[in-house]
Copies of this chain bind each other. A is one copy, B any other.
Amino acid sequence: MDETVELTVLENDKTISVASKLSGHQEELQDRDHEFLSLAIEDVYIGVNCGHGGPFGAVVVLNNEIVVQCHNMVLEYSDPTAHAEITAVREPCKQLGRIELSDCDMYVSCEPCPMCLDAIHLARFKRLVYGAQAEAAIAIGFDDFIADAIRRTAQYQKINLEIKRAYFDHATIACIEFLKKKNEKEREGIAAERERKREREREREREREGE
């Protein structure tokens, strides 16, 4: 894409100033965003050409290094949750052995759907950069509730689903049991820490007596 054209449109879009007005840091960030978003879009083409699923790609970056570059695998895996963003949450967590990615940035080719935005939030990402707007996906037949996620609306929600709350105390009790268990563990942890402290003090006492 012609850089000048892009920056002109950016100005029209009123989201980012033109290049000449960008500070050094902003320009660097913009180049970085451009680079990683291009890679997310590269994966859209790979995924579509392979028939793996819908036209969606994602990249996760940690300290300027790519942790994962992936695309929608819904058809390939026969898994309706295998959106690019879900893989882009699961894979880095697996690689890094933790469930929070607050030090990573996520790049996605298109506005994420509510499932994916929530997954991105659950993993504690702090920055999300996306390319196409939901309308591009909606125009080619994808669910229009994609647009709900970032815009925080439910106006597009047309879920054809009977939802019933079966009043069932056990469900709430199970939650409370979890809290009890959690508190028990914390108390055990505090008691163990106190015991270790006392042991260290006794050790020091013995050392002093030995001197």
Contacts and interface: CB of A to CB of B under 8 A. Distances in A.
Interface stretch (A34-42, A60-68, A191-199, A201-209): A34-42
Interface of A: 1, 6, 9-10, 13, 15-16, 30, 33-34, 37-38, 41, 44-45, 48-49, 54-55, 57, 74-75, 77-81, 86, 89-90, 93-94, 97-100, 109-111, 113-123, 125-133, 136-137, 139-141, 143, 145, 150, 152-154, 157, 159-172, 174-179, 181-182
A41 B141 CA distance: 37
A38 B128 contact: no
Contacts of A9: 167
B10 A45 contact: no
A175 B128 contact: no
Given A152-B157, A154-B153, A175-B136, A41 B170 contact: yes
Given A45-B174, A48-B178, A178-B54, A169 B80 contact: no
Contact of A99 (B55, B79, B93, B139): B79
24 contacts: A1-B168, A15-B167, A37-B166, A48-B174, A55-B178, A78-B93, A79-B89, A79-B90, A80-B119, A81-B123, A109-B171, A109-B174, A110-B171, A111-B165, A113-B122, A118-B145, A121-B159, A128-B164, A130-B165, A132-B168, A132-B171, A132-B175, A136-B175, A136-B176
A140 B55 contact: no
A46 to B, nearest CB: 10
A15 B90 CA distance: 38
Contact of A75 (B99, B110, B179): B99
A116 B165 CA distance: 16
Given A137-B175, A175-B140, A170 B1 contact: yes
